[in-house]
Amino acid sequence: MVVRPPGLPLRSHRHPCYFWVRGRVPDRKPVTPHFESMLAYILLSFIALLTSALNLLVIISISHFKQLHTPTNLILLSLAFSDFFVGFLMALQIVAIDGCWSLGDILCPFYHFLGYIITSASIGTVVLISIDRYVAICHPLHYSTQITQKRVQVCICLCWICSVIFQGILQNQTLKLQVMNSCSRECMVVYDHVSVLADLIFSFIVPITVIVLLYMRVFVVAISQAHAMRSHIATVTFQKTGKVMAKKSELKAARTLGVVIVVFLLCLCPYYCAALVDEDFLTASNANIIICLVYFNSCLNPLIYALFYPWFRKSIKLIVTLKILQPDSCDANML
């Protein structure tokens, strides 16, 4: 039995880092068919392994090669770390694929809390990507002075610290290990509507609004500059009016990171929209598809880098062939 705090409504919820989501405390534990359990085991195991491996390649690439130590890549490194931890959480979820929690009382709140921190840090990192591209495209003359490695490192640290503090303050709910007939117990989280609303506003609505507004501006400026680069007359006009255009490499990076942001929003928005419209929707079986989509986003980011970034493809070859173990390999030309 879950005890409701005085004066607060009862609500049970699971973060998107959980495979099964329930909108209320169940009376009975549903039994998962053996075929569906095995299919979920295989699917989650494959995605977890692929997610961890690909993001580990990103982490090693940016950390090892000095030429890749740019402000933009440091932000991508932060995103890779959060995506790598998503693969770790998925591995933990595999042992509880049928909804039964067997990892003990200590790991239950840790698993839940870490999932919220990772999601908040990921959204905050995407906001940093939007700010980075906004300054690079809309104010290219000030980019090198305003966006430095030291400032980016401080912003990344603040992003993770604020995620930990915010989620620590927000998590006023009670974690319970429900005793069920069909299994030993279940890791259940119960919290009030105020916490739900605060998390929705500060972890989703506000960051997504900032991301969309900044990248809309980036998109408009990038289009105008791309047209200007194709026209000699327009280029001369830009020079006479004193405007400075961003480099082609910055425009290309903006397009690539724009793809990352769009994929991120497409994978994350369905979950929050469904939870916002109808919390009971997440009790349905098709909610598993939405949550798997949130999982899969962490696997897609490295694939986007491999598709658009030549330096990532080159670094993969050096890592797989173990050439990074050679002396002075960190000074290799990657661009």
264-323 residue pLDDT tens: 888 888 877 776 666 555 554 555 667 777 778 888 888 888 888 889 999 999 999 988
What DSSP element (H or E) covers 285? none
What's the mean pLDDT in 126-151? 89
Produce one character per residue of 249-261: b if its CB has 16 or more CB atoms within 10 Å, e if not: ebbebbebbbebb
Other Cβ atoms less than 10 A from the Cβ of 33: the count is 9
Write the pLDDT tens digit of every residue in 91-138: 777 766 666 667 766 777 777 788 888 888 988 999 999 999 899 888
pLDDT at 187: 66
Cα–Cα distance for residue pair 25/35, rounded to 1 Å: 25
Lowest mean pLDDT segment, chosen from 48-62, 78-92, 101-115, 229-243: 229-243
Q: Is pLDDT at 87 greater than 70 in this prediction? A: yes
Amino acid (one-letter) located at 146 = Q
Question: What residue segments make up the domains of the chain, in order of their start?
Answer: 34-331
Tokens of 322: 């173990």
Domain 34-331 maps to which CATH number in 1.10.3720.10, 3.40.470.10, 2.40.30.10, 1.20.1070.10? 1.20.1070.10
Produce one character per residue of 269-281: b if its CB has 16 or more CB atoms within 10 Å, e if not: bbbbebbeeebeb
Tokens of 238: 């830009």
What's the mean pLDDT in 71-90? 90
Cα–Cα distance for residue pair 193/196, rounded to 1 Å: 5
What's the mean pLDDT in 64-84? 92
**Within 13 Å of residue 112, how many CA atoms lie on the same side as its CB?**
27
